[in-house]
Amino acid sequence: MNPPNPFHPRSIRLEITADGSHTLFLPEMDEHYHSIHGATQESHHVYIESGLNQCLKPYIHVLEMGFGTGLNALLTALEAEKRNIQVIYTALEKYPVPLDIAGQLNYSDIHPTLFSQIHTAEWESLVSITPSFRLQKIQTDFNTYTYPDPYDVVYYDAFAPDKQSEVWLQPLADAIFKAMNPQGILTTYCAKGAIRRMMQQAGFVTERIPGPPGKREMLRARREK
């Protein structure tokens, strides 16, 4: 018998974080989608400032490990427009958040039209969301995806290793490293020593940098070869 799906819509609970933005809580996993100290400010610090904005190319291919609520995609689309760069954004998600739940998130307060376009975009297709942002959402398991494209920036936003250990495995880190462009950047909120060593074994040069509010450190890794 298959174990119950912890991502079942009946299990998901909407919560407010410290900066006033929403997150989702999964009781079966005892896990939030974002930091309770502030969902929006965490996403902006970990993935936009520490990841996307460290890549100075005019054309950037972003890979997100875990589409989740779509917050990272929304902030990236806004940043692409602000910086006048072109972004192709590939998001992998095994358990998409249902549209009715996504519609309750207050990220639409940031940009209601854009947030709706991101969530209603067809899965498995490359969709032009704005003139500077194209999105491809793929429903897949991280460990079975083939990672065909060269990525410049990777947002490693999976659930914590102690909650979902199967998405923090050495073969997966190896596959991502091989799929990245030289000087590619990977960022994650997780700064655990085991994860840092896993990234180093894959070939990344890693650094611990200041984390978002409520978290002392986070991890940034680069493919320098």
In a domain, 33, yes or no: no
Among 219, 148, 150, 152, which residue's Cα sits nearest to residue 188? 219
Q: What is the per-residue pLDDT for 28?
A: 86
Q: What is the per-residue pLDDT for 3?
A: 43
3-state secondary structure 38-93: CHHHHHHHHHHHCCHHHCCCCEEEEEEECCCCCHHHHHHHHHHHHHCCEEEEEEEC
CA gap 201, 196 in Å, rounded: 9
In a domain, 21, yes or no: no
3-state secondary structure of 157: coil
CA gap 111, 97 in Å, rounded: 19
Q: What is the per-residue pLDDT for 2?
A: 41
CA gap 208, 195 in Å, rounded: 11
In a domain, 105, yes or no: yes
pTM of the model: 0.95
Find the CATH number of the domain harbouring 76: 3.40.50.150
Bridge partners of 210, per DSSP, are 217
In a domain, 23, yes or no: no
Report, as ranges of residue numbers, the positions in the chain whose pLDDT lies below 50: 1-4
In a domain, 15, yes or no: no
State the helix-helix crossing angle for 112-120 and 71-83, rounded to 10 degrees: 120
CA gap 189, 35 in Å, rounded: 9
Range of the domain at 62: 38-223
In a domain, 5, yes or no: no
Q: List the strands of the sheet with 31-32, edge to edge.
A: 13-16, 22-26, 31-32
- Asked if 93 contacts 68 with a C-beta cutoff of 8 angstroms, the reply is yes
In a domain, 174, yes or no: yes
State the helix-helix crossing angle for 193-202 and 170-178, rounded to 10 degrees: 50
Q: How many domains does the chain have?
A: 1
Q: How far are the Cα atoms of 55, 68, 190 from residue 73, in angstroms, in the given order?
A: 16, 10, 19
In a domain, 42, yes or no: yes
